[in-house]
A = this chain, B = another copy of it.
Amino acid sequence: MQFKEINLFEGISDEDVMRMVSCFGAKIKDFGEGELICDYSDTGEEVGVMIRGCAAMIRTDENGEIAVMELFAEGDIFGEVLAFSNEAGDSVKVIAERDSEVMFIKYDQITKRCERACEHHSRLVANMFGLIAKKTLSLSQRIEILSKKTTREKLLYYFNILSKKYGAEFSLPMSVTRLAAYICADRSAMTRELSRMQADGLIEMNRKRIKLKKVV
């Protein structure tokens, strides 16, 4: 295991992580492909850390419609309190997409100063804040995008965010189909708008490769 690559444990050595894990009474479990990692009907006050593999958070509504809410890769954390609202009372589950290893830590163990006063506890708390803040940021970013009126405005706003990160030429970090879902637009309508934007000389596009002509 290389815990160093997991953001939650950044700045903490593998040995210290192991020490904290036992101090916290955290559990590490293995899951095969398709196996249920957790179910948010029974609310556990735990945070899950993807040590290895990947998983998907799946929502099933009362009509049986299934939606992938989030994908988790190695190093990602997930938990009931972390970034999803389930006001509709739908079934929300996390399912392993491959063979995976997940660590479960109780929230109150993170917030409490443990009795043995683990050296790196405050670092863990700071990392946790950082991760939640990052998630919060990506949520508010998406709200900014969704608050634009037209598909063109949504796309341009999103492309500008990407261009600030990667420059005027970049590859989409997701498929076109997923992009449509992300900006909550009909896929075909979005493709049509992308064509128009090319015709209007705003972008050049080839598959996932995009060149933003006029950076705002």
Q: Which residues of A contact B (CB under 8 A)?
A: 62, 81-85, 87-88, 107-108, 110-113, 117, 121-122, 125-126, 128-129, 132-133, 135-144, 146-147, 149, 157, 160-161, 164, 184, 216
Of the residues B88, B136, B161, contact of A83 by C-beta under 8 Å: B136
Whether B184 and A83, one on each chain, are in contact in the complex, defined by CB atoms closer than 8 angstroms, is: no
Nearest B residue to A89, CB-CB: B164
Which 8 A-B residue pairings sit nearest by Cβ, starting from the closest? A111-B126, A85-B141, A81-B133, A146-B146, A139-B139, A85-B140, A87-B161, A147-B184
16 A-B pairs, CB-CB below 8 angstroms?
A: A81-B133, A81-B137, A83-B139, A85-B137, A85-B140, A87-B141, A108-B126, A110-B129, A111-B125, A113-B113, A113-B122, A132-B136, A135-B136, A143-B146, A146-B147, A147-B184
